[in-house]
Structure 1
Amino acid sequence: MQSEQQFRDSAPGWGLWSLRFLLFASFFDLFIQYPIAAPYASTLGASPSLVGAIVAAYSATNLLGNIAAGVALDRFGRTPLLVAGALGTALVVAAYALAQTPAQLLGLRLLHGVTVAALAPGTFALSGDLTPVERRARAMGENGAVIALAAIVAPALAGIVQERAGFTTVFLLDALVLVLAGSLVFITGRFLRRAEPEEGRLAARSVGAMAILRSLAAPYGTVLLFAVALGTFVTGLPEQLHALGVAPAVRGAAFSTYGLVAAAVMISPLVSRSTRHDWRLEAAVGLLSIAAGLGIAGAGSSVSTVERAALVGAAVFGLGFGFLFPALTAEVARRADAARRGRAFGLFYALYSLGVIGGSLVAGWVGERAGSASGWPLLVGGLLAAFGVVLPLSERLPRRPSRA
């Protein structure tokens, strides 16, 4: 019988790329909703406060769902939950088109956050199962580049399709991508299931969340502060540009620049080489770059300076994200053995969601007091990211376990 390590080394590359297509689909689903969720709720007659609740409902249930999904991924296996999650999410998204009232849309948004919850933790956990230790940093970088690609493609596509064909077509397109991705993982499931840990389903009952939190305290703290900084970026930058009367095209160009730079860094050999030796240095470099990017983006105070500051700041932010994300995900996969990798990534994405929500609230609170055009929401996010450098650099690395 082929050993686990032999299988990892010889597993078909298209099996791993089927996971990446599912990862793309899950974040495509997330990003395609950003520009249309609020307008669609408004067309159904939702008040401004109810629009906010409808938009936030997805994040609230997704945060809790990530934690529950992590336990289920370890106990029941990765592949079945990934297929069920993709197809279930496709059904929910398609049902958006049938919503007639704000209450119905709110219910679908709550359900959406639950059905999609297993996709990101599951794909990263199974990628860790499939990939040998020495190739994990590169694999996680490629996963991150796939996410960056979704961030570039989905919002722009949503705007174009919605303008030309309406909301229903956007939802059906989203559902189609999810169905295709789920079907591909189902087809490759025979290979993927062989990489899953048999012992994990028993161990899942005995290893608690607190043990995982203790072993991953520094990476988890780092991702939380990064996500807060990201929340200030995605909220504060558009608000600043809008307040100064900058054209919407500049906003789109800034976020596209961020995604393109991040993707280029993540697939570069530099990331896998440096992360393989010590995640702490790469995480610190990433956080410092993110802090610098937010500082640059927040420095513009007039239309003549803010456009250039936004583009340069977004590029530097993307550089930092490109270094940080592979370092964090590879370290989570390394420290969490196969039996608890699902829960480890479930908690990772729960903290990520919590941080983005918190960062958005911080940006809104600071913007109300200092003025959205002031750039202070971005500067506060930069200070938080700079403070986060302490977390990886102050940690004493535990002894590296045997490969799992």
Structure 2
Amino acid sequence: MRTAVWLYVFLFVAVFDLHAQYPVLSPFALSLGATPAFVGLMMGVYSLTHLPGNLIAGPLVDRFGGKPFVVGSLVAAGVCLWLQSRVAEPWQLLAVRAVAGFVIAFLSPACLAMLAKLSADRFAQGKLMAGNGLVHTLAAVVSPAAGAMLAARFGFEGTFAALGLALVGIGVLAALGIPSDAKPPSPGQEEALGGRRKFPEPRRRIESFRGFFGNGPERARGVPPLFYLTPAALACSQGILYFELPLSEAARRSLETSGALFSLVSVGAFVSLALLFLNRYSPYARAAAGGVALALTFYGMAIDWPVPLAPTLVLIGMAKGVLWPAMTTHLLVLTDERHYGRAFAALSVASSVGAFVGPLAAANVRDDVSPFWVAFLLLLPAIALLPGARRAAPPIAGLPEKM
């Protein structure tokens, strides 16, 4: 459990630093002369450059363990944040954000794979994933408001420089505090590595690539491709929301107001994650319920329902707080320990695609229709197509699973 505590501490600081940028980044880009469409492109490119990082991260995490990628990702992201404080043109900000999107792509698959390896019990893994969501949400509750206050007091440049140096520092601490999770190679693997053929045959390389998405012979249980529609739709809806919030009338009043709006989403997620009894229910049922609730909330925003913005954002956060940990736990049911890195990397790939599409879609349709229609129309079919477990997980003694 000490490893889990260390991972949670490092994740808290990393998420704090990264989420503190949300209410600050759009005003900073606009102050450099960027247009709203360019802001959408900047947010989308950050997610787009996640893709090659995610594709590389999965097999490497499975091969070498997660620690080197946690440390390297934190330090590199901190350097990018520090460079972000030195940009003077919109295109420079775009370039730095593109690099930052690539290096930070290694963090999530590595951390989630390390957490999943701490226990072989499905219920315990579910609690670890819920703990990850809880830490993520705690940091996200305070970080947007804190980032906005820092920017109001020290300016954009000082805020980015401080956040970058903090990430570098937490990366150094991670190198000292996290034990290695890399497993020593088996005798057969050592013999293969020591022989003449150090690389797999072309056919085996193709099968390994197919196994990344759960269809190759390396997998005992493959992840159905339809599963990844849900994280893609969730990330797309979040990208739309995070693009629209800084441009809303309420957020334009002050940076502090913008930060408070972002924090309300995290407050709602924290409320859901604090309801630990939800872990007793099937992850598939929780994911479906959270996804439908989230889609209906975006539908309400699209039709301009009479519910004020503040409670609406709390409802969105509550739905996300149910959906995300349930979805990651459901992914564990569909895969096996040997390929957690690949599974979570594929999850990050799907999320990156959605996060790239979301801001761009919002920037291009907001003059004609509400962008929240896009979020609703993507979420509902994705949840309807979410596949269930192919075979039931073994029952937990003394704890019957509810449906």
For 1:141-160, what aligned pairs fall within 5 Å after superposition? Answer: 141-160=130-149
**Shift of residue 208, structure 1, vs aligned partner:** 2.2
**Shift of residue 330, structure 1, vs aligned partner:** 1.3
Q: Secondary structure, in 3 states, of the residue corresponding to 1:28?
A: helix
Please say if residues 21 and 144 of structure 2, whose CA atoms lie closer than 8 Å, have aligned partners that are also in contact. yes
Please say if residues 45 and 356 of structure 2, whose CA atoms lie closer than 8 Å, have aligned partners that are also in contact. no
**Shift of residue 59, structure 1, vs aligned partner:** 2.2
Report the Cα distance in structure 2 between the residues aligned to 1:238 and 1:40, rounded to whole angstroms: 11
Q: Secondary structure, in 3 states, of the residue corresponding to 2:213?
A: helix
Q: Which amino acid aligns with 1:256?
A: S
Higher helix share: 1
Report the Cα distance in structure 2 between the residues aligned to 1:326 and 1:197, rounded to whole angstroms: 30
Question: 1:301-345 CA deviation, whole Å, 9 max, x = no partner?
Answer: 6xxx4xx43223222222211111111111223333232211211
Report the Cα distance in structure 1 between the residues aligned to 2:130 and 2:244, rounded to whole angstroms: 27
**What fraction of aligned residue pairs are identical, expressed as a percent?**
28
Q: Secondary structure, in 3 states, of the residue corresponding to 1:130?
A: coil
Identify the residue that residue 213 of structure 2 maps to in structure 1: 212
Identify the residue that residue 389 of structure 2 maps to in structure 1: 397
Report the Cα distance in structure 1 between the residues aligned to 2:184 and 2:385, rounded to whole angstroms: 31
Identify the residue that residue 93 of structure 1 maps to in structure 2: 81
CA RMSD, aligned part only? 3.3
Q: 1:273 aligns with which of 274, 280, 290?
A: 280
Q: Secondary structure, in 3 states, of the residue corresponding to 1:368?
A: coil
Identify the residue that residue 231 of structure 1 maps to in structure 2: 239
Report the Cα distance in structure 1 between the residues aligned to 2:95 and 2:312, rounded to whole angstroms: 38
Unaligned 5+ segments in structure 1 are 1-12, 371-375
Identify the residue that residue 4 of structure 1 maps to in structure 2: none
Report the Cα distance in structure 2 between the residues aligned to 1:117 and 1:238, rounded to whole angstroms: 24
Does residue 289 in structure 1 map to residue 283 in structure 2?
Answer: no
TM-score (norm 1): 0.80
Q: Which amino acid aligns with 2:273?
A: M
**342 and 259 in structure 1: CA distance in 2 versus 1, 3 angstrom threshold:** same
Report the Cα distance in structure 2 between the residues aligned to 1:335 and 1:266, rounded to whole angstroms: 22
Unaligned 5+ segments in structure 2 are 190-199, 216-221, 396-403
TM-score (norm 2): 0.80
For 1:86-165, what aligned pairs fall within 5 Å after superposition? Answer: 86-132=74-120, 133-165=122-154
Q: Secondary structure, in 3 states, of the residue corresponding to 1:174?
A: helix
Report the Cα distance in structure 1 between the residues aligned to 2:46 and 2:332, rounded to whole angstroms: 26
**294 and 174 in structure 1: CA distance in 2 versus 1, 3 angstrom threshold:** same
Q: Which amino acid aligns with 2:129?
A: M
For 1:178-257, what aligned pairs fall within 5 Å after superposition? Answer: 178-190=167-179, 192-193=180-181, 198=185, 207-209=208-210, 212-214=213-215, 215-216=222-223, 217-236=225-244, 239=247, 241-242=248-249, 252-257=259-264
**255 and 35 in structure 1: CA distance in 2 versus 1, 3 angstrom threshold:** closer
Instruction: Give the total of aligned pairs.
Output: 372
Identify the residue that residue 359 of structure 1 maps to in structure 2: 358
Question: 1:92-148 CA deviation, whole Å, 9 max, x = no partner?
Answer: 222233445555444322221222111111111111111332211121112112222
Please say if residues 26 and 120 of structure 1, whose CA atoms lie closer than 8 Å, have aligned partners that are also in contact. no
